[in-house]
Amino acid sequence: MKHSITNEGLAVMIKDLAATVKDLANMVKAGFDETGHRLDILEQGQANIQARLDSEVYRHEFFALEKRVEFLELKVAEKAF
């Protein structure tokens, strides 16, 4: 048995297909928007971490400074006597 395709039937199928494509496009857009939002949150977190690290003294810098202070304290102590 052969089915006949009418112009009206094709128009309905095209309309349904267009709605389906539009729905899929909206879902993809929502996914990209959510991913973009998550990336913004991650970037902000990284910026916060970097700001905290920039204000911290690194361990090797602290030890080098501590040695210099000890040296100066010894010099001052020697001159005091």
Q: How far apart are CA 49 and CA 55, in angstroms?
A: 10
Q: What is the pTM of this model?
A: 0.48
- At 3-34, the pLDDT tens digits run 567 888 888 889 999 999 999 999 999 999 99
- At 36-60, the pLDDT tens digits run 999 999 999 999 999 888 877 778 8
User: Would the pLDDT of 69 be above 70?
Assistant: yes
Which amino acid appears at position 19 of this protein? A
How many distinct structural domains can be found in the chain?
Answer: 1
HEC sequence for the chain: CCCCCCHHHHHHHHHHHHHHHHHHHHHHHHHHHHHHHHHHHHHHHHHHHHHHHHCCCCHHHHHHHHHHHHHHHHHHHHHHC
Domain presence at residue 2: no
- Domain that includes residue 15, residue range: 7-80
Domain presence at residue 33: yes
Residues belonging to the chain: 81
